[in-house]
């Protein structure tokens, strides 16, 4: 056994994968945790109930791969793609920001470009005829 915190617990091998009995919320006493065995972070752990031990996680030794990645992608590129997706596909329908119309932008541009200071006062052209 690989996991030292679980070495003295015997987990029977399930021969038949068909469910024979499913216990629901009508029998809460069978879920009472009598003992908990934890290991390091991300290791499997076990809980003892009146029905026996339950294993959470894989009991097998972790698989170590000798393979190396042959394709790398920049993290920034992925983040940019997500930002682009969410900014175009998932706009907030309840957003209170109102975009300017083409006419409003033309008027604002005309006003902004016409601002002058004359004799200590500001002069602005009117965008309407």
CA–CA gap between residue 111 and residue 124 (Å, rounded): 6
15-66 tens-digit pLDDT: 777 766 666 777 788 888 999 999 888 888 999 998 888 888 876 666 666 6
Query: What is the secondary structure of 42-89 as a DSSP string?
Result: TS-EEEEETTEEEEES--SPPP------S----HHHHHHHHHHHHHHH
User: How high is the pLDDT of residue 36?
Assistant: 93
pLDDT grade, residue 89 (50/70/90)? Answer: low
pLDDT at 34: 93
* pTM flag (> 0.75): no
Torsion of CA 14, 19, 20, 26, to 10 degrees: 120
pLDDT value at residue 70: 62
How much is the pLDDT for 48?
92
* Predicted local confidence at residue 129, as pLDDT: 59
Kindly list the distances between the CA atom of residue 51 and the CA atoms of 31, 32, 37, 59, 117, in Å, as whole numbers in the listed order: 8, 9, 16, 19, 87
């Amino acid at each position: 056994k690989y996991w030292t915190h679980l070495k003295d617990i015997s987990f029977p091998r399930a021969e038949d994968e068909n469910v024979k009995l499913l216990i629901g919320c009508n029998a809460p006493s069978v879920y009472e945790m009598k003992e908990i065995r934890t290991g390091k972070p991300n290791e499997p752990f076990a809980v003892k109930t009146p029905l026996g031990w339950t294993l959470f996680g894989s009991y097998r030794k972790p698989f170590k791969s000798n393979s190396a990645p042959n394709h790398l992608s920049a993290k920034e590129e992925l983040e940019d793609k997500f930002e682009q997706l969410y900014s175009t596909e998932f706009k907030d329908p309840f957003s209170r920001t109102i975009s300017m119309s083409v006419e409003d932008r033309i008027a604002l541009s005309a006003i902004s470009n016409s601002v002058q200071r004359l004799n200590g006062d500001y002069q602005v052209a009117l965008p309407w005829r």
